[in-house]
Amino acid sequence: MSVPSSASQVRPGDETRPLPLQMAPRRRGKPPRHFADLSADERVASVIEAGEKPFRAKQLATHYFTHFTSDPDEMTDLPAATRAALAETMFPQLIRPTKVMEADGGTTVKTLWHLFDDAKVESVLMRYPNRTTLCVSSQAGCGMACPFCATGQLGLTRNLSTAEILEQVRAAFRALDRGEIPGGPARLNNLVFMGMGEPLANYKAIMETVRALVAPQPDGLGMSARNITVSTVGLVPAMRKLADEGIPVTLALSLHAPDDDLRSELVPINTRWSVDETIDAARHYYEVTGRRVSIEYALIKDMNDHGWRADLLGKKLNARGKGWVHVNPIPLNPTPGSIWTASDREVEDEFVARLRGQGIPTTIRDTRGSDIDGACGQLAAEEDDE
């Protein structure tokens, strides 16, 4: 990966020269329309348009969402003569795995996907003793320009379509179902929008994705909304809109600093919506949905890990009530080119202790996959082929 020189020069205490925020994508081409992009009614309409009987829509949905397949050879309940053509129309190949990396004895798997226009994204599947979690990408690259995040250094190539996101999920369900991940056949329990991209900047597609994730099989994947986490830099109007959707997904807010001066440097969108406005929107989400919000806080040595910042964070959260929020500090995963590093262990412990001391539930997030650059903030699929 080539890292812009401004990123490699960023140092704690230095004057930083951040990348500009990028709200509009560089590319506008749309991927082909796919079955997973369609509502239930549209699925029926497109099957009819393809010259088939309406009930075929349900058969296709069952293949896709219950058996995780789009391969006509596996669709033996469809007429042999038209099966291949129908599958080709309904399930154009949108994502192609070009590199698979494993860690933790094969229970952490990072996949690099090439999209129809050669844009690239990554997803990471993590299997734990009693649960499975997939981290998906919602955009190719990201326009939010956070200087400590590998994806943030790429800029935004384009939004993913609903089906491009759902295809990452289907691949994970399929691998688990077919017993390809050590530990025997399993289901996917948790999904986090913590791969590449800012999910709330691709609002329509991620909401359609969420609807398909929670719809019961065979119309969707039958996941539980509370096991789906949407992580955001804090796009305040979109956070408020999300609260009104009536789907109680878990909201994670990437705060990283409790004061505007530092947060504007670490999370540049803070220049548009301040720390207080952002925390208010998180609190609003809790009030409307009853879902406890997670605050993400990457601990960066000598940057944002001071005791007084833990105290200020606790104070700002408690000022808005008790029991509505918990904090997930994450030791910084160093990214290529940046000399920022994770906080020392004692500093991390002190940070956690101060938050807990104020009565705020605080748990350190694990950094699984860091050795294959698959941990939070490390996803940086290269833009161009070398």
**Closest among 151, 137, 62 to 95, alpha carbons compared:** 137
**Which CB, 89 or 362, lies closer to ligand SAH?**
362
Return the percent helix, strand and coil in the chain, to nearest 5.
40, 20, 45
Radius of gyration (Cα) for the chain, nearest Å? 21
Please work out the total of residues on this chain that contact ligand SAH, with binding judged by CB under 6 A: 17
**Which CB, 90 or 330, lies closer to ligand SAH?**
330
Report in angstroms how near the CB of residue 329 gets to ligand SAH at its nearest: 10
Q: Given the rule CB under 6 A, which of 46-54, 66-74, 220-228, 231-239 is the region that contacts ligand SAH?
A: 231-239
Report in angstroms how near the CB of residue 369 gets to ligand SAH at its nearest: 11
**Which CB, 61 or 192, lies closer to ligand SAH?**
192
Q: Is 49 annotated in the active site?
A: no
Q: Establish whether 146 is an annotated binding residue.
A: yes
- Active-site residue (options: 15, 52, 122, 287): 122
Torsion, CA 323, CA 329, CA 330, CA 335, rounded to 10: 120
Q: At what angle do helices 307-318 and 345-357 cross, to 10 degrees?
A: 30
131-170: contacts with ligand SAH (CB under 6 A)? 144, 148-149
CA 179 to chain centre: 24
Q: Establish whether 231 is an annotated binding residue.
A: yes
What's the length of the chain? 386
Q: Establish whether 135 is an annotated binding residue.
A: no
Give the integer Cα–Cα distance in Å for 348 and 369.
20
CA distances from 54 to 47, 75, 82, 217 (A): 6, 16, 15, 18
Which one of 304, 335, 343, 362 is in contact with ligand SAH (CB under 6 A)?
335
Report in angstroms how near the CB of residue 122 gets to ligand SAH at its nearest: 12
- Active-site residue (options: 49, 350, 376, 383): 376
Q: Establish whether 88 is an annotated binding residue.
A: no
**Structure tokens belonging to residue 25:** 């994508």
**Closest among 375, 311, 374, 310 to 348, alpha carbons compared:** 310
Which one of 52, 198, 265, 305 is in contact with ligand SAH (CB under 6 A)?
198
Q: Establish whether 208 is an annotated binding residue.
A: no
Name the helix (H) or strand (E) containing 240: helix 236-243
Binding-site entries for S-adenosyl-L-methionine: 197-198, 231, 254-256, 333
By the criterion CB under 6 A, which residues form the site for ligand SAH? 144, 148-149, 194, 198, 231-233, 254, 296, 298, 330, 332-333, 335, 376-377
The catalytic residue positions are: 122, 376
